[in-house]
Structure 1
Amino acid sequence: MPGAVARRSPGDPLSHAYLSSDACRLRPSACPGLLRIVPALDGGICRVKLARGELSAAQALAIADAIDEHACGIADITNRANLQLRGVKRGHEEPLIAALLHAGLGPSGPQDATHAFADDVRNVMVSPTAGRDANALIDTSTLADDILARLQGDARFAALSPKFALLLDGGERLAMLDHPHDIWLSAMRDPKCDDVLFAFGLAGCPPVAEKHAGAVAAVAASDAAALTHALVHTFLDLAAPEHSRMRDLLAVHSVEDVLTHVESKSGIALLRDASIERWRRAPGDPSLRLGAHTQRDTRRSHVGGQPVLGRMNSETLRGLARLVAHNDGATLRMTPWQSVMLSDIDTTKVASTLQALEALGLACNAQNPLTRVIACAGSAGCAKSLADTKADAMKLAACLPADAQVHLSGCPRSCAAAHRAPYTLLAVAPGRYDLYHTRDPRDPTGFGRCLARGLTIDEAAGMLSRAALPPITPFDEPSDA
Structure 2
Amino acid sequence: GNGLIDMTRRANLQIRGVRDESWRPLLDRLLDLGLVDHDARREGARMMMVAPDWREGDDSHRIARQLLDRLDELPDLPGKMGFVIDAGAAPLLSGEAGDFRIERARDGGLILRAERRAQGVPVDSGGEVDALLALARWFVESDGARAGRMARHDAPLPDWATGTAEVAAPRPRPVPGAWDGGMAYGLPFGQIDARHLLDAPAIRLTPWRMLLAEGQVPGLSADAADPLIHVEACPGAPTCPQASVETRDLARQLAPHVAGRLHVSGCAKGCACAMPADIVLTGRDGRYDLAFHARAGSAPVRPDLTATDLLAHFGAC
TM-score range, shorter chain: 0.7 to 0.9
Does the aligned pair in 2 maintain the 1:309–1:374 contact within 8 Å?
yes
Distance 1:184 1:95, change over 3 A: same
Does the aligned pair in 2 maintain the 1:77–1:311 contact within 8 Å?
yes
2:119 equivalent in structure 1? 215
Pairing of 1:374-393 with structure 2 (within 5 A): 374-393=232-251
Alpha-carbon distance in 2 for matches of 1:386, 1:421: 20
Does the aligned pair in 2 maintain the 1:79–1:417 contact within 8 Å?
yes
Pairing of 1:382-421 with structure 2 (within 5 A): 382-397=240-255, 399-401=256-258, 403-421=259-277
Q: CA deviation at 1:83?
A: 0.4
- Note the alpha carbon deviations across 1:132-169, whole angstroms, 9 max, x for none: 8xxxxx63111111112222x22x53x21220011111
Distance 1:396 1:174, change over 3 A: farther
Equivalences, count: 314
Alpha-carbon distance in 2 for matches of 1:309, 1:124: 22
Alpha-carbon distance in 1 for matches of 2:40, 2:257: 42
Distance 1:323 1:179, change over 3 A: closer
Distance 1:165 1:233, change over 3 A: same
Pairing of 1:290-439 with structure 2 (within 5 A): 290-293=176-179, 295=180, 301-318=181-198, 322-324=199-201, 331-343=202-214, 345=215, 353=216, 356-357=217-218, 360=219, 362-397=220-255, 399-401=256-258, 403-430=259-286, 432-438=287-293
Identity within the alignment, %: 25
TM-score normalised by the chain length of structure 2: 0.88
Q: CA deviation at 1:456?
A: 3.2
Q: CA deviation at 1:420?
A: 2.3
Alpha-carbon distance in 2 for matches of 1:428, 1:381: 16
Alpha-carbon distance in 1 for matches of 2:26, 2:91: 33
1:143 equivalent in structure 2? 63
Does the aligned pair in 2 maintain the 1:363–1:370 contact within 8 Å?
no
Q: CA deviation at 1:173?
A: 6.3
- Note the alpha carbon deviations across 1:180-200, whole angstroms, 9 max, x for none: 22112211254xxxxx42223
DSSP 3-state at the match of 2:17: strand
Q: CA deviation at 1:463?
A: 4.4
Does the aligned pair in 1 maintain the 2:188–2:209 contact within 8 Å?
no
Alpha-carbon distance in 1 for matches of 2:27, 2:296: 37
Distance 1:363 1:463, change over 3 A: farther
- Note the alpha carbon deviations across 1:296-335, whole angstroms, 9 max, x for none: xxxxx431111231111221221xxx241xxxxxx31121
DSSP 3-state at the match of 1:411: coil
DSSP 3-state at the match of 1:181: coil
Among 179, 183, 195, the residue aligned to 2:96: 179
> Relative contact order (alpha carbons < 8 A, sep ≥ 6): 1 or 2 greater?
1
Asked if 1:78 is matched to 2:8, the reply is yes
1:200 equivalent in structure 2? 112
Distance 1:289 1:173, change over 3 A: farther
Q: CA deviation at 1:240?
A: 5.8
Q: CA deviation at 1:404?
A: 2.1
Alpha-carbon distance in 2 for matches of 1:419, 1:148: 28
**Quick check: which has more Rg, 1 or 2?**
1
Letter in 2 for 1:452: R
Distance 1:342 1:82, change over 3 A: same
RMSD: 2.6
- Note the alpha carbon deviations across 1:235-291, whole angstroms, 9 max, x for none: 1111165332223432xx223xxx23xx4xxxxxx6834xx2xx24323323x2310
Letter in 2 for 1:131: R
Does the aligned pair in 1 maintain the 2:90–2:168 contact within 8 Å?
no
Unaligned residue ranges in structure 2 (runs of 5+): none
Does the aligned pair in 2 maintain the 1:130–1:172 contact within 8 Å?
no
Alpha-carbon distance in 1 for matches of 2:242, 2:299: 23
Among 97, 104, 108, the residue aligned to 2:27: 97
1:254 equivalent in structure 2? 156
Q: CA deviation at 1:413?
A: 1.6
Does the aligned pair in 1 maintain the 2:289–2:305 contact within 8 Å?
yes
Q: CA deviation at 1:227?
A: 0.2
DSSP 3-state at the match of 1:72: coil
Asked if 1:285 is matched to 2:209, the reply is no
Does the aligned pair in 1 maintain the 2:101–2:132 contact within 8 Å?
no
Alpha-carbon distance in 2 for matches of 1:436, 1:408: 11
Letter in 2 for 1:199: I
Does the aligned pair in 1 maintain the 2:91–2:168 contact within 8 Å?
no
Among 110, 115, 125, the residue aligned to 2:49: 125
1:455 equivalent in structure 2? 305
Letter in 1 for 2:147: H
Distance 1:85 1:371, change over 3 A: same
Among 227, 232, 242, the residue aligned to 2:136: 232
Distance 1:172 1:289, change over 3 A: farther
